[in-house]
Structure 1
Amino acid sequence: MSWEILNVAAVAAFAFSGAIVALNERYDIFGTFILGIATPFAGGIGRNIALGVPVIHVWEQGYLLYVAIGTIAVVYFFPKSWVMAWDRWNIYLDAIGLSAFALQGAAFAIDQDFPLGGVLFSAVLTGVGGGVARDVLAQRRPMVLHQEIYAVWAMAAGLVIGVGIISIESVFQTYVLFLSIIVLRVLSYHLGWHLRFRDLYRL
């Protein structure tokens, strides 16, 4: 049940984020739905391809696909003034999606008996893959490559799960890690934490 809740939260958050970006870029209804669907599902598909495991296609996502479609429809058909006001919350939605999908990716790798490197790779690719797909389709520079600390938090989630500090069998520990990654991502955004060492050198 805990993973189902996290998956629904992640899909809804990333679908909302993708649809908001599409509307900001003035995409039509088709483009909005494509971008909104790609954002929550591209990371998992890319992960499976990279790790050589069977791919769960978008149309096989079951109720999660309907969650994404419903979220995108709400964004697209609501008054645009409301939607643009919601845009200020996009960073928080993106943080929710990043955290939930990073945890899901790490749990997936653990379930497949991958070593620590595979757990880290799966957590990062699942967590940031959707956002990268969203930004590329919107012809933006991927957030993970130039903005505040982003992929590091997905890697941190994979690390603490991979070395056994956090047990994915524990609902309490899972949600503590989920909330911690969200808080760290939001803090890195508001406080402007970066990995650009040349900026530190100049100081």
Structure 2
Amino acid sequence: MAWEVLSAIGTIAFAVSGAIIAMEEEYDIFGVYLLGVVTAFGGGAIRNLLIGVPVSALWEQEFMFQLAFISITIVFLFPHNLLGHWNRWGHFFDAIGLSAFAVQGAIYAVELNLPLFAVIVAAVLTGSGGGIIRDMLAGRKPLVLKSEIYAVWAALAGLFISFNWAESDLMLYSLFVLITILRILSYTFKWRLPARKIQVS
């Protein structure tokens, strides 16, 4: 049950974030739907490629595609003066998508009896893959490549699930909430990972 719920939450959250960024970049309606859908399903596609699951399995998720299209339509028709506050609350959608898909991706890998490292990779790619594709198509530097803490939270979700520290649905939902809160806190308080800059003369 948790897998389906988290899939729905992640799909809606990333579809919304992709659509809003597309409108920020002044894409037409086709571009808005395209970026929204790619953001919602890109991470799952990348994960499937790397863990040996046919990418075509995504097309079996008809309900998730319907959710994505409905979410994008609502955002597209939403008053633009309210969407202008994306920088205030929009990262919330990204945090929800990251957390939901990271947990979902890790569950998927564990069900396939994959080793620890593969579970963590599945969590990171499912959680951040759609956002990476979204940012690249929008001409932005992907968050996961910045010193800002982003994909680390997805890896943490994979670690918890791979060690069976979150087995019941209640624990999985709690982990989802925890990762979401950590992502919001890291953005709000500008937590950073160590970084080095090379001066090119």
TM-score scaled by length of structure 1: 0.92
- 1:194 correspondence with 2:192: yes
Deviation at 1:88, TM superposition (A): 2.5
Aligned partners of 1:105 and 1:126 also within 8 Å: yes
Q: Say whether the 8 Å CA contact 1:58–1:65 is kept in structure 2.
A: no
Aligned residues: 197
Identity percentage of aligned residues: 49
Show the counterpart of 1:114. 114
Unaligned runs of 5+ in 2: none
Moved more, 47-56 or 149-158: 47-56
Q: Give CA deviations for 1:53-96 in whole Å, capped at 9, x if unaligned.
A: 12245543211101100111111122221222355211111111
In the alignment, structure 1 residue 180 sits paired with structure 2 residue 173: no
Q: Distance in 1 between matches of 2:56 and 2:171?
A: 27
Tell me the residue number matched to 1:127: 127
Q: Is the 8 A contact 1:103 1:157 kept in 2?
A: yes
Tell me the equivalent position of 2:24: 24
In the alignment, residue 25 of structure 2 is paired with which amino acid? Answer: E
CA RMSD of aligned residues (A): 1.5
For 1:80-99, what aligned pairs fall within 5 Å after superposition? Answer: 80-86=80-86, 88-99=88-99
Change (3 A) 1:58 1:161: closer
Aligned residue for 2:142? 142
Whether the aligned pair in 1 keeps the contact of 2:147 and 2:195 (CA below 8 Å) is no
Amino acid at match of 2:194: R
CA contact (8 A) 2:3 2:107 kept: no
1:35 partner letter: L
TM-score using structure 2 length: 0.93
Q: Contact between 1:16 and 1:75, CA under 8 Å: does it hold in 2?
A: yes
Which sections of structure 1, spanning at least 5 residues, go unmatched? none
